Amino acid sequence: MAKHLSTNEDPLGEYRGRTALHLSVKIVEAGIIFEPYHAMYLGRELKKAEMALRLGVPYTQDSPLFRVHGPKPRILF
């Protein structure tokens, strides 16, 4: 389930689907996406939320699913 909220967090819509793909289709069909970049962002976040459900880990929008501890990776070129 995905909730569409205003900038004031007032509910504007609610969409349900079994997978990120199903939710994406319903959101596009609702006609609320006007920017391609926003559509790509939503797709990434919906897929991340789906993965969190499958893995049993908490999901927070705009946050990584896992925190990697340790030294920063080096670029080898």
Q: What is the mean pLDDT of the chain?
A: 88
What is the distance, to the nearest Å, from the Cα of residue 10 to the centroid of all Cα atoms in its chain?
19
pTM across the whole model: 0.74
pLDDT(71) > 80: no
For 29-48, how does the pLDDT look when each residue is reduced to its tens digit (9 = 90+)? 999 888 999 899 999 999 99
> In total, how many domains does the chain have?
1
**What's the confidence (pLDDT) of residue 76?**
72
Domain assignment present for residue 75? The answer is no
Q: DSSP letter string over 20-62?
A: HHHHHHHHHHTT----HHHHHHHHHHHHHHHHHHHHT----TT
For 57-66, how does the pLDDT look when each residue is reduced to its tens digit (9 = 90+)? 999 999 988 8
Strand 11-15, strand 2-5: pairing: antiparallel
> What's the domain range around 11?
2-55
**What's the confidence (pLDDT) of residue 46?**
94
Q: How many CA atoms lie within 13 A of 8 on its CB side?
A: 2
Domain assignment present for residue 12? The answer is yes
Domain assignment present for residue 19? The answer is yes
Domain assignment present for residue 67? The answer is no
Domain assignment present for residue 26? The answer is yes
Domain assignment present for residue 31? The answer is yes
